[in-house]
Structure 1
Amino acid sequence: MRLSHQQILGILVGLLLVVGIQVAFYWVDFSSKFTPVSTDMLQREMDSLRTLAGLPKKDTIFPFNPNFISDYKGFKLGLTPAEIDRLQAFRAQNRYVNSAEEFQQVTGVADSVLRRIAPFFKFPDWVKNRHFWADEAKNTPKHFPKQDINTATAEELMKIYGIGEGFSHRILKYREKLGGFTYINQVAEVYGLEKEVYERVAERFEVQTVPLIEKKDLNAINRYELSKIPYVKYGESNKIVGLRSELGAIHSFEELLQIEGFDKERIGRLQLYLYIQ
């Protein structure tokens, strides 16, 4: 078959186009010349838009106690749900973190997150001064004159490592409720006070002034007055009066063991305030 002049010309043009395209791909760099925009540049743009809208340039973190981080607060700070759960489980044991290092040990938070939020941690004053009190304890002789726990002030109690303003006032309030401490180990009954902290109190304080407590007759005291006696919990005055009515009179404190919740230790404490004729 003979090709016409136009067909031959078309074939030649097609070959030239194929060769030209191959040469172009070989010599010309068609790779992307796009340069990524830096994070700083994006942040500057966002800050500019925030300024125009009358908003702060970035989220502000105010000082806070990390022991009381809520789910929402933790999310805003960048903590994972698992890290928040670990902190809340730790707090459910009535325990507290007292440093950034301890916060990381409990939560397992990443170093980068800790570096960002730790400068805003705010702990109670006694925590900030813990190293001072620890050094003082090391330099304090083992034997020193003890103070009277029944005349101690809040300021004197706060010198004990582990006792801040809250616990000092809680101890004084409990002392007032008891009418004064008869035994130093009654301080250990203060709600929330850890054993180690009580032991430090017992090293510095003792009962030097025994309180004058006016005892009341267990068989004559009325239901209302009985409810005001220390170591009688809510509702137990009714049970004591009921037992008294059932027996005709209570002849010995050991008979209170018939009431659920009473043991020899509590009964011994009650005898500081009650007597039986």
Structure 2
Amino acid sequence: MKSHFLFTNQQRNGIFLLLAVIVIFQCVYWFVPNIFTSTTKNIPGNVSEIETFRKEVDSLRLVEIENRKPKIYPFNPNYITDYKGYTLGMTNEEIDRLHKFRETNQWVNSAKQFQQVTKVSDSFLSTISPYFKFPEWVTNPKPKSQGYSNSYSNSTEEKTFDQKIDLNSASTTQLRKVYGVGEKLSERIIAYRDKFNGGFAADIELSEIWGLSLEVIERIQNDFTVKNPRAIKKFNLNTATRDELVTIQYIDYEIAHHIIEERALRDGFDSLEDLTKVEDFPIKKFEIIKLYLHL
């Protein structure tokens, strides 16, 4: 038995090392859980602070998202473009219905009529209809009074060129005698005229004035016309450069590039109407663009 308890120095060191390792593991086993427990006790306070901080971050994020949303300003629903309709939340079918209605030269004059044409839902209409802004002659129509001597006749008889008043010298008072032209519209007509040195170049430029419907424009043209048009620099469509074309209203560099491409393919345009076949050409503004071109 004695031989079992006799160890060399090296063996004794090994036994002591083994005992030390066992004691260390025992200490870790007993004390480390107590550390975790004490740390866990402090967590609720930290969780509360973290939750408060998270709520602040979420609220700031919501504010930023709200600020990034496109703001809606008053607009005339008759001029809703594809992009405008998309940002408002209209479907492609609803936008197409509106465009087809407008192509027939008809106008939407109320929120109810807008819904009848586009077939939008009641909830959507209630959201956007407060932003609808119709021309003054629609929202505040002037009663037709018979025998009113200060207004121009509404007769369908067409006046001669000499009988009409020059649009480039007409006053706001004269313009307001036309049914449908109020104070604001008459001021817009004069303001547009004053933007150019020489005034209007042609009657078609009346269509550029916001708020003037086709019906009102026709009434204006019954009594007014451009007798002394402003001078316009015209470009030959078959020789004009890209830099010359982009000086024309509604023609940018991309459209100018398409015009030159189409001109090369056709070996020259035969008529100004051929422009309507150019890719991305603004067909609705053709009559305005035509003022600056010739063949």
Q: Same fold (TM over 0.5)?
A: no
Q: Normalising by structure 2, what TM-score?
A: 0.40
TM-score by length of 1: 0.42
